[in-house]
Structure 1
Amino acid sequence: MPTDPDAVALVDLRDEPLSVDEVLDAVRHPACGGIALFVGVVRDHDHGSAVSALDYEAHPSAVETMRAVCEEVAASHEALRVAAVHRTGALHVGDLAVVVGAAAPHRGQAFDACRAVIDTLKARTPIWKHQKLGDGSTEWVGLP
């Protein structure tokens, strides 16, 4: 667990548009000179196939898993604040799918923590993507 109970500034799963500014504001801290953000955007292709839209679905434990990841990263990196917000529901090309932020005393620490949050979230959080492909077919991504 992080020493500071406020180290995990924001964790949420939403079926409405995400705000980069909300995550940026959540991780600001007077002792931090570096803030790193990762913004995942729905792209128009995946593995050589055109993608027209997608739906994200999440297990009821997803927010709990996201919070645990953020707590672990805050405790194991030199980040004083971390945040993660992920979309669910129907998204279109260009929509924000996930926004992650980390604030630390120095930029390298912030970058390292931000990368650890997004990489670990993708590996552990039970969120699945149902892609609608350009040829009319669909595929699930991230199923166990």
Structure 2
Amino acid sequence: MKVEHITLGGNSQIRDTAGIAPETIGYFRRVKAVYSSASINLPEANASVKITATDEGAAFDMLYNGAPVVTNLCCFSAGQKPGIMELVSGLAGSYPLYKGMKPKAPAMDVFLYSIVLLPFAPPEWVSIAGEIELYIFDQLYSAWIEKQN
């Protein structure tokens, strides 16, 4: 599945969930993301994830060694887009790093919006985190579609 992945203050790219690395999928061999609120511990990646999923979309925080590093907002339909973008704008306005920044509007109705909260994690972890974000988005999207049926 193709998904638009936007990073506040950074770039926007179209990513394909078919390209998720087997190592990333392996982190989740003992857990399954479901469309609800949950916490997932990924000790192999020094990460944990806190998920909140509602009818209005989903959000998940990526934590590195217990510290929140990235908040991700997930939009799965055109109807969710205004509310998700309102959340992105609110978060952008509440962090000094993003003061005065206007969030980039997504071109697609299905997108993942990442907001870096603490840019201190090692570069190798950030690379892994990007893969984990895409995987979790894909799992949440699949669970959301299933819930709609």
TM-score tier by shorter-chain length is 0.3 to 0.5
The normalised TM-score by structure 2 is 0.34
Greater length-normalized contact order (CA 8 Å, ≥ 6 residues apart): 1
Whose strand proportion is higher, 1 or 2? 1
Q: TM-score, normalised by structure 1?
A: 0.34
Structure with greater proportional helix content: 2
Larger Rg over CA atoms: 1
